[in-house]
A and B are shown apart, each in its own frame.
Chain A
Amino acid sequence: MANLEARLKEVKTIAKSPKAQLKKYLAAGKKVMGCFPMYVPEVIAHAAGMVPMGMWGAQTEQKLSKLYLPAFACPLMQSNMELGLRGTYEGVTAAMIPTMCDTFRCVSQNWKSGVKIPMISFSFPQNRKLQASVEFLETEYEHVKSCIEEILGTKITDEALENSVKIYNEHAKLMMKFAEIVPDHLDVITPTVRHEVMKSAMFVDKAEHIEIMKDIIAGLEARPAFNWTGKRVVLTGITAEPESFLKIFEDNGLAVVADDLGQEMRQYRTLIPDEGKTVMERIARQWNNRYACPLAHDEEFSRGDHLLDLCNKTKATGVVVCLMKFCDPEEYDFPLYNKQLRDAGIPSLSLDIDQQPTNYDQARTRLQAFAEIL
C-alpha cells in the first residue's frame, strides 16, 4: 500500500499530464477510447479492454477550431475541436460523442468533418420517465458496442460487461466515500488536491484508480479529523479549472467541501443499478437515475434541492457557481437554483470559466469579497 502523500503526488502528475498517460497505455499495447462529456458509457469501452480517457478540453489557444466554431461556442467544445484538429489526441482509437446540447449537436458534425479520429455518436433520451426511453438507450448503447467491436475486431461479452460494471460501481462508491470524508481533512485536501484526485480518475484505467482511491481514503481515515476554522463552499458547474482558479480559493481561506461539477461528482454520484433484465439495460438505467444535472431533462428540477442538501450535509455557507462560458444549459438553471439558495439564506457567487489562457484577477477580487460576506 502506497502512502497518502505518494498517492496525492501521483494524482497530481496524472491530472497534469494526460498525454503521458496516453503514451503509457499505448506503449503497453492498450487501445484508448476518448470520452467527451458527459456520462458516455465508458463501461462498454472498458469491457472491450480499452482504457477510456476523458476529453474535457484544456487551457489552450483557439486557432484551428475557428474554422468550425464561432466565438460564442463554449470553451470546452472549442478546445476539444482545437485539440482534435491539431492532432493532440493522436493515438486515441475513437471518440464517444453524445449530443447533449445545441453546441454538441454541431460539434458531433464538425468532428466527423474535420478530425481524423473516428466518432462514435449516440443520443441520450431526454424523456427519462418512460420504460421506452430505457429501451431506446439500450439500442443506442448496442450501437456504441457494435462500433467498438467493429473497430477492434473483437466481441464484447456480457460477462466482460458485468465485470466492468462491477469495477465502475466500485470506483464510483470510492469516489463518493472520498467526497464524503473530504470535509474532515481540509488540511490535506485543498481545493486543488481535491480537484486533482477527481480529475486523475479520467486518465487512469478505473481498476487502477480503485487502488489509488483505496490508499487515499485509508490514508485520510488514519488521520484525525481536522478542525477547519475557515469557510466552506460548494462548487457547481461543468468544471472548476485551471489550478490558478482554485488557488484563489486557497488564498482566501475557502475550502471546497463538496461539488456538483460535471467533471467531478456528477459523474460518480449515480451507480449502475442492479435492476434490469440484461446488463445493457442496467447500464442504460443509470442515465434515467441521474439527477440535478442541466443536461438531463428533469421535470421536477431537483438541482436547487440538491445544492441545498450538499450545503446542509457539509456545513457549507456559500455556493460558487463555476459557469462555463456560453454553456446555455447551465445558464438556464442559474436563476432557478439561485432563487432557492437565496430563499434559504445561502449566498452564491457566479464566476466565468474559460479555457483560453487568461488570468483570473477579476475572479480573485470577487472571491475575496465573497469570502468576507460568508
Chain B
Amino acid sequence: MSEQQVKKPKRPMSKSLIMVRQQLADLYTEAGEAKARGEKIGWAASIFPQEICETLGLVVLYPENHSAGIAARHQADPFLQRAEGELEYNNDICSYAKINLSYIDTRNLEANNMPLPDFMLIANNICNQVTKWYENIGKRYNVPVYMLDMSFNHENFVTDSRLKYIRAQMEDIIASLEKLTGKKFDQDRFREVMEISAENKDLWIKANELQANSPAPLNGFELFNYMSAMVCCRGKRSTTEILKQLISEIEEHIEKGDSTYPGEQKYRVFWEGIACWPHFSHNFKVMKKLGMNIVATAYVRAWALDYIPGDLDSLIKAYTFTPSNNTPIETLVERRSRDLIKFKCDGMIYHLNRSCKVMAMQQAEIQRRLTEITGVPYVSFDGDQSDFRNYSEAQFETRMEAFTEIMDQHKAVREGK
C-alpha cells in the first residue's frame, strides 16, 4: 500500500464530547432507574422551563432530542414506516413526532431508551405541532398532559397580560406536579437552579460566540453535538463542567490559531434551521470539500434563555420570547442580521425543513429582508430534521457548489475587485 492511500487517522474525540455523550447516556439510565423505583417520569417539549422539574427533582426526558438521535444514527426508517402505516399518522406531520409516536409503543433501542411517561409537559413556544403530538400520547397512554401555553407574540415585547397568563399556568403546573409526584417545590432550590441555568446559558453563548474568531476554532457542525446538554440538562452542574471543558478546548485552538475544521475555511456561513440529522455527515462532507464552515446558527441559540435568577417574570419573558418561532418576523430578522455581521458571514444556508412548518412558512420573506439589510447572499436546500426521505444529495451538492460562486462574486465586489 502506497503512502498516499493510507487513510488519515481520525481525530480523537475531544474530552468535552465524551463528557456530553456520557451525560446523555446517564440521563437515560437515571430515568430507567427512577421509573423502576416507582417514581414519576416526565416527557417534555424542548424549551419547557426545566427549572420547574429540576427544582422538584423530577427526571424528565426530551422526545425531540431522542428522535433526532434516532435519525442521526440512521435508525428512523422502521419508526417512520410504522407511524405512517399501522398507526395512521399522515406523512405530512413532523418527523420527530412520527418517530416518537411509533417508538413509544416498543421502546426497544440498543441504548438510550425512554421509559413510558407518567406525565407530559407541553411548551408551545417552539411550535403548535408539539401540542398535538402530546395530546396523542396523553390519549393513547392515558397520562396527564400539562399545557404551558406560551402564546405567539405579535408584539416585539412580552405584553403584561401574556406574562400574567403564563405565570398563572406555571403556578398551576407546579401545583399539579406536586400533587402528582408528592414532591415539594422549594423556592431556595428554584433560585439555585435558576443560577446554575443562567451560568450555563452564559457559557453556551460564549462557546458559540468564540466562533466569531478567524479562523473559526470549531467545525461548526460540532456545536450541534452539545445541544443535548442545553436541551436536556441545562439546569444541571454537569452541563457547567461540560461547557467549561468545551470552552477551554476552543480557547486552546484560538491560542494555537488552529481549528477542528479540517482544511482552509474559505467561506464563513450562517446555518438557518435545525440540523438535517439523517444527512449530517453528507452535509459536512460537501461543505468541507468546498471550504465552507458554519460559524453561526440561530437554532442552537434558542436555548440561551437569558433571565435574572430569582426573577420569575424575567424567566417567563425569556421562555416566551427567546425562541424565534414565537416572535414576530421583525425580531427574528433583527437577531439574524446582527449575527451575520458579528460573525463576519459570507453567506447564509437555509434548511427548508419539511418537518418544521413554523420555520419553513416564512423563510422566503426572511431571506428577502435579511439580504436587503445585510447584503449577505443565501442559498436554500430541501431537507428534513429526521425523515431521511426528504433530501437529495445531488441537490445539496449542486446548490452548495453554485453558492460558492455567488459568495465569490460578493467577496470580489466587497473587496473592490
Residues of A bordering B, CB below 8 Å: 67-70, 72-73, 99-103, 105-110, 113-114, 121-123, 125-127, 130-133, 135-136, 139-140, 294, 297-299, 301, 323, 325-326, 328-329, 331-336, 338
Q: Across the interface, do A113 and B127 meet the contact criterion of CB distance under 8 Å? A: no
A110 CA / B360 CA spacing, docked (Å): 12
- B128 contacts A68, C-beta separation under 8 Å: no
Task: Check A123 against B361 for contact (C-beta < 8 Å).
Answer: no
- Chain A residues within 8 Å of B329, by CB: 109, 113
CB contact between A103 and one of B131, B133, B149, B361 (< 8 Å): that residue: B361
Beyond A68-B362, A69-B361, A106-B358, is A125–B88 a contact (Cβ under 8 Å)? no
Q: Is B147 a contact of A332 with CB atoms below 8 Å?
A: no
Using CB atoms, name the residue of chain B closest to A301.
B139
Instruction: Give the chain B neighbours of A127 by CB distance below 8 A.
Output: 147-149, 165, 169
Residue of A nearest to B130 (CB): A102
* Interface membership of B66, Cβ < 8 A: no
Given A140-B161, A297-B147, A332-B132, also A130-B172 (CB < 8 A): yes
Q: How far is the CB of B103 from chain A (nearest CB, A)?
A: 15
Q: Is the interface of A mostly helix, strand, loop or mixed?
A: helix
The answer to whether A113 and B365 touch (CB under 8 A), given A99-B152, A122-B154, A326-B92, is yes
Interface membership of B87, Cβ < 8 A? yes
CA distance A336 to B357 in the complex (A): 22
Closest Cβ of chain B to A292, distance in Å, is 12
Set of chain B residues within 8 Å of A68, measured between Cβ atoms: 361-362, 364-365
Known A105-B325, A328-B129, A331-B93; judge A121-B88 contact (CB<8 A).
Answer: no
Residue of B nearest to A342 (CB): B88
The verdict on A123 contacting B360 (CB below 8 Å), with A68-B365, A328-B92 known, is: no
CB distance from B136 to the nearest CB of A (A): 6
Given A106-B357, A301-B138, does the pair A130, B168 have CB atoms closer than 8 Å?
yes
B321 → chain A, closest Cβ, in Å?
13
Query: Which residue on B lies nearest to A323, using beta carbons?
Result: B90
CA distance A215 to B140 in the complex (A): 46
Smallest Cβ distance from B367 to chain A, in angstroms? 11
Flag if A102 contacts B361 (CB, 8 Å): yes
Tally of contacts, chain A with chain B, CB under 8 A:
150
CB distance from B172 to the nearest CB of A (A): 6
User: In the bound complex, what is the Cα–Cα distance between A104 and B93 (angstroms)?
Assistant: 15
B361 A331 Cβ-Cβ under 8 A: no
Once the chains bind, are B149 and A126 in contact (CB under 8 Å)? yes
Measured between beta carbons, the chain A residues less than 8 angstroms from B151 are: 123, 125-126, 136
- Complex formed: what's the CA distance from A331 to B128 in Å? 13
**Contacts of B354 on A, CB cut-off 8 Å?**
72
Whole-angstrom CA separation of A132 from B127 in the bound complex: 22
The answer for the CA separation of A133 and B127 in the assembled complex, in Å, is 19
Q: Check: B272 CB closer than 8 A to any chain A CB.
A: no
Which residues of A lie under 8 Å from residue B352 when comparing CB positions? 70
| Bound complex: CA A126 to CA B150 (Å) | 9
- Asked if A106 and B361 sit within 8 Å, CB to CB, the answer is yes
Cβ of B164 under 8 Å from chain A: yes
Complex alpha-carbon distance, A226 and B136, angstroms: 41
Binding site for A on B (CB under 8 A): 87-90, 92-94, 97, 124, 127-129, 131-133, 135-136, 138-140, 144-145, 147-149, 151-152, 154, 159, 161-162, 164-165, 167-169, 172, 325-326, 328-329, 352, 354, 356-358, 360-365, 369
Chain B residues within 8 Å of A130, by CB: 165, 168-169, 172
> Of all chain A residues, which has the CB nearest B390?
A72
Minimal beta-carbon separation of A354 from chain B (angstroms)? 13
Partner among B90, B161, B358 whose Cβ is within 8 Å of the Cβ of A139:
B161
In the complex, what residue of chain B is closest to A298 when comparing beta carbons? B135
- Other than A106-B360, A127-B148, A328-B90, give 9 A-B pairs with Cβ distance below 8 A: A103-B361, A105-B326, A108-B154, A113-B369, A135-B161, A328-B357, A329-B128, A332-B93, A334-B90
B277 CB to nearest A CB, Å: 19
- Considering the complex, give the chain A residue whose CB is closest to the CB of B352: A70
| A108-B154, A328-B132, A338-B88 known; A125-B361 Cβ under 8 A | no
Residues in chain B near residue A294, CB distance under 8 A = 132
Contacts of B360 in A (CB 8 A): 70, 72, 106
Residues of B within 8 A of A301 (CB): 135, 138-139
User: Are the C-beta atoms of A126 and B131 separated by less than 8 Å?
Assistant: yes
A126: chain B residues at CB < 8 Å are 124, 131, 147, 149, 151
Query: A105 touches which one: B144, B358, B364 (CB < 8 A)?
Result: B358
A139 to B160, CA, bound (A): 10
Also in contact, A102 and B90, with CB within 8 A (given A126-B149, A127-B169): no
Per the bound structure, the CA–CA distance linking A336 and B134 in Å amounts to 12
Bound form: Cα–Cα A133–B149 in Å: 10
Known: A110-B361, A331-B93, A335-B89. A105 touches B136 (CB 8 A): no
Please determine whether B145 and A132 come into contact, CB atoms closer than 8 angstroms: no
Task: Report the separation of the CA atoms of residues A100 and B285 in the bound assembly, to the nearest whole angstrom.
Answer: 39
- What chain B residues lie within 8 Å of A69 (beta carbons)? 361, 364
Asked if residues A331 and B139 are in contact (CB atoms below 8 Å), the reply is no
Q: Which residue of A lies closest to B89 (CB)?
A: A335
From A142, which residue of chain B is reached at the shortest CB distance? B161
**How many Å lie between the Cα of A110 and that of B362 in the bound state?**
6
8 Å CB contact of B357 from A102, A108, A121: A102
Closest to B366 in A: A109
Q: Whose C-beta in chain B lies nearest to the C-beta of A112? A: B329
Q: How far is the CB of B84 from chain A (nearest CB, A)?
A: 11
CB distance from B410 to the nearest CB of A (A): 23
Q: Which residues of B contact A109 (CB under 8 A)?
A: 328-329, 362, 365
Sample 22 A-B pairs with CB under 8 A, ordered by A number.
A69-B364, A72-B360, A73-B361, A101-B357, A102-B361, A110-B362, A123-B151, A126-B124, A127-B169, A136-B162, A136-B164, A139-B159, A294-B132, A299-B145, A301-B138, A328-B90, A329-B128, A331-B90, A331-B92, A332-B136, A333-B132, A336-B135
- B186 → chain A, closest Cβ, in Å? 24
Interchain CA distance A109-B138 in the complex, whole Å: 32
Does B361 lie within 8 Å of A107, measured CB to CB? yes
Q: Which residues of B contact A101 (CB under 8 A)?
A: 128, 357
Minimum CB–CB distance for A117 against chain B, Å: 16
A123, B152: Cβ atoms closer than 8 Å: yes
Task: Return the chain B residue nearest A107 by Cβ.
Answer: B361
Contact A132 B165 (CB under 8 A): yes
Closest 3 CB pairs of A and B: A106-B361, A132-B168, A332-B132
Q: Give chain A residues whose Cβ lies under 8 Å from the Cβ of B89.
A: 331-332, 334-335
Contact partner of A297 (CB less than 8 A), chosen from B149, B357, B364, is B149
